[in-house]
Structure 1
Amino acid sequence: MGTSLRSGVFKKSNDGARLLITTIMGIVFGYFIGVSFPSVSLDKINLPSSLISSLDMAFNDDRRAVSRSFPENLGSSSTPLTPKIYVPTNPRGAESLPPGIVVSESDFYLRRLWGDPREDLRRKPKYLVTFTVGLEQKNNINAAVKKFSEDFQIMLFHYDGRTSEWDQFEWSQRAIHVSVRKQTKWWYAKRFLHPDVVAAYEYIFIWDEDLGVEHFNAEKYIELVKKHGLEISQPGLEPNNGLTWQMTKRRGDREVHKDTEEKPGWCSDPHLPPCAAFVEIMAPVFSREAWRCVWHMIQNDLVHGWGLDFALRRCVDPAHEKIGVVDSQWIVHQVIPSLGNQGESDNGKAPWKGVRDRCKSEWALFQDRLANADKAYFSQIEHR
């Protein structure tokens, strides 16, 4: 029994020794084989040129990718390589970014999905023209759009939700279309025309859909606005068509006017609305700088904009010099209550009556808010 055990142990020891010796000899043999061959490069191997090119491109692409991401990838998670950035003059929320990468403004330029971004734009429109539209007025809008050259970016706000039908017009392919049912142009303007979004445009037209433009030329209009220093303006209105303020009626003997005479008692100061510093909200045109102020005054819930025209003077100074009516480029207000028909009947009232009542109540609300804001501001100043 004891002899058998010793024999087994001895046999296992011999097997282990042979395995160790074999391993050592293999390592030594492999070493001498390796050093006996010269070093080999891809250049000395007769590989197809297309394969070598592919390998080289793949290597270089990887090397460039690593190089681009190199600064962000260095360091451990506990010791980041990039120093902490804080720039208080950056736009709110972007203080942690280096100023050189911050893009705080945008535009409505249409870009390609391919090619070099620097070659996307053949030209950049200088001005923005918006219409709030329903399909029933498509022919009128088509006539209006034709009055604007390629220097004007066209933008349509669709209150009836119908957009594809406009494709019959060639210009519609280049227009910006925004569709939200049963909303007004001031609702759209507040949400889609933020000053930083439209900062690329020198002037912004915010027009109704029921305007006749037979006697209007957009290029000449811009020339006159610049010539007379108007920051907020509108074309003159045909005086014999529809109700309008005296200030906005066209005068046939001049290019531009900035004041008027109204009924006795209507103007406490000849430099204040509605005798001066006043245009209506149906077809206003704003400079980029004036719009930045006006946009902030538009109330989110007061969608009709009534009362806004009397407050526009707060956004330019002196208002009676920088707000005016362009007489020689005039339009006709066709007075089509198309938006009123988007309302709903209430307590037996026709839809348009409900809309009109809302307009009047919004005017009163806006006046109250503005008066209260003034009061709060001046009260705060007095107690400093």
Structure 2
Amino acid sequence: MRFLLQEIHLPTSISTSFDIAGKEENINQISESPFSNGSSPRIYVSTNPRGAELLPPGIVVSESDFFLRRLWGEPSEDLKKKPKYLLTITVGLNQKKNIDRMVKKFSEDFQIMLFHYDGQTSQWDEFEWSKSAIHVSIRRQTKWWYAKRFLHPDVVAAYEYIFIWDEDLGVEHFNGDKYMELVKKHGLDISQPGLEPNNGLTWQMTKRRGDQENDLVHGWGLDFALRRCVEPAHEKIGVVDSQWIIHQVIPSLGSQVRARCKNEWSLFQNRLANADKAYLEEIGNR
């Protein structure tokens, strides 16, 4: 299964995985560690992450980011401008020219992150933008393998929106900044551009409609899972028709993954059905 893309906005209501040590309410939790010999008390902050309880308050923070840092000068002067959005693309060298066209559709407000499934990274240095991009290289892995491991909520919380794109998208009719204007105008937390209706395998609900600016639906089945992330889902999830793209349907890893994709899609559907059943049972027991 080749999922096309998702742009995901992390609502401020979603909390990070642990609290920042050093808050006023945590100070009272500093106590003598059970590992101390009793002669000299040691710091023990129970709200720190597991394994970091002995670190003083304020050292452990709840979030990180992908902002690039210098090796010299004052840390406070490292970032002249913080990117608002994160654009991630799973890529192979064969699609290098198309990726260059795609990246140039996004302004400096977007941090670029490439996931290399073919292990080739140095060949991208011919592009100036690549020198400030983040490159992650693990061979023969797919978009969602990368996303689940490198787009942890505590890291991407620094960005307003995250774009998770494939390498085979035509962007002649797309502009990143204009797209963001529409997404914010309609209050969408999860969205995608409309797709050229006469090109490739495309679900009806994701095809571009020329007479509309925005459709409040989202396809490829992920809407059934991602709807749990926003409320109300029918207002927060949508397809932006006036900024549209072409899915070129170029198989990244060839036919070798098709059988595996079908198998994983079946497993995903079963998990989704079980989750829905459990949710309905919970509602019925209230």
Spell out, residue by residue over 1:5-45, the C-alpha distance to the aligned partner (whole angstroms, 9 max, x if none): xxxxxxxxxxxxxxxxxxxxxxxxxxxxxxxxxxxxxxxxx
CA-CA distance at 1:234 after TM superposition: 0.3
Consecutive unaligned residues of structure 1, counting only runs of 5 or more, are: 1-75, 259-275, 281-306, 341-351
Matched, 1:333 2:273: no
Q: 1:206 aligns with which of 152, 158, 164?
A: 164
Q: Distance in 2 between matches of 1:221 and 1:193?
A: 22
1:156 is aligned to 114
2:196 is aligned to 238
CA-CA distance at 1:80 after TM superposition: 2.2
CA-CA distance at 1:96 after TM superposition: 4.9
Q: Distance in 1 between matches of 2:108 and 2:245?
A: 21
Matched, 1:168 2:126: yes
In 1, are the aligned partners of 2:121 and 2:135 still within 8 Å (CA)?
A: yes
Matches within 5 A, 1:35-46: none
Spell out, residue by residue over 1:325-381, the C-alpha distance to the aligned partner (whole angstroms, 9 max, x if none): 1111110111111322xxxxxxxxxxx0x4222211111111112223444566578
Matches within 5 A, 1:180-219: 180-219=138-177
Q: Counterpart of 2:231 in 1: which secondary structure?
A: coil
1:22 is aligned to none
Q: Distance in 2 between matches of 1:93 and 1:231?
A: 34
Q: Distance in 2 between matches of 1:339 and 1:201?
A: 30
2:9 is aligned to none
Which deviates more from structure 2 when the two are superposed, residues 246-255 or residues 222-231?
A: 246-255
Q: Counterpart of 2:107 in 1: which secondary structure?
A: coil
Spell out, residue by residue over 1:137-178, the C-alpha distance to the aligned partner (whole angstroms, 9 max, x if none): 000000000011111000000000010100011111000000
Shift in alpha-carbon separation, 1:107–1:382, aligned structure 2, 3 A: same
1:114 is aligned to 72
Q: Which has the larger radius of gyration?
A: 1
1:355 is aligned to 257
In 1, are the aligned partners of 2:45 and 2:57 still within 8 Å (CA)?
A: no
Q: Counterpart of 1:128 in 2: which secondary structure?
A: strand
Q: Which has the higher contact order (CA 8 A, sep 6+)?
A: 2
Matched, 1:79 2:39: yes
1:101 is aligned to 59
Q: Distance in 1 between matches of 2:240 and 2:40?
A: 60
In 2, are the aligned partners of 1:91 and 1:104 still within 8 Å (CA)?
A: no
1:313 is aligned to 227
Q: Distance in 2 between matches of 1:95 and 1:379?
A: 39
In 2, are the aligned partners of 1:234 and 1:279 still within 8 Å (CA)?
A: no
Matches within 5 A, 1:122-137: 122-137=80-95
Spell out, residue by residue over 1:256-286, the C-alpha distance to the aligned partner (whole angstroms, 9 max, x if none): 111xxxxxxxxxxxxxxxxx3x234xxxxxx
Q: 2:267 aligns with which of 365, 373, 376?
A: 365
Q: Distance in 2 between matches of 1:243 and 1:370?
A: 23
Q: Distance in 1 between matches of 2:145 and 2:229?
A: 20
2:12 is aligned to none
In 2, are the aligned partners of 1:124 and 1:151 still within 8 Å (CA)?
A: yes
Q: Counterpart of 1:331 in 2: which secondary structure?
A: strand
Q: Counterpart of 1:360 in 2: which secondary structure?
A: helix
Shift in alpha-carbon separation, 1:94–1:162, aligned structure 2, 3 A: same
Total equivalences in the alignment: 251
The structure with the greater share of residues assigned to helix is: 1
In 2, are the aligned partners of 1:87 and 1:98 still within 8 Å (CA)?
A: no
Matches within 5 A, 1:266-281: 276=217, 278-280=218-220
2:209 is aligned to 251
Q: Counterpart of 1:143 in 2: which secondary structure?
A: helix
In 2, are the aligned partners of 1:279 and 1:323 still within 8 Å (CA)?
A: no
In 2, are the aligned partners of 1:126 and 1:152 still within 8 Å (CA)?
A: yes
Q: Counterpart of 1:155 in 2: which secondary structure?
A: strand
TM-score of the pair, normalised by structure 1: 0.61
Q: Distance in 2 between matches of 1:204 and 1:109?
A: 14
Q: Distance in 2 between matches of 1:117 and 1:165?
A: 30
Question: How many percent of aligned residue pairs carry the same amino acid?
Answer: 78
Q: Distance in 1 between matches of 2:194 and 2:275?
A: 32
CA-CA distance at 1:87 after TM superposition: 4.8
CA-CA distance at 1:99 after TM superposition: 4.5
Q: Distance in 2 between matches of 1:185 and 1:375?
A: 28
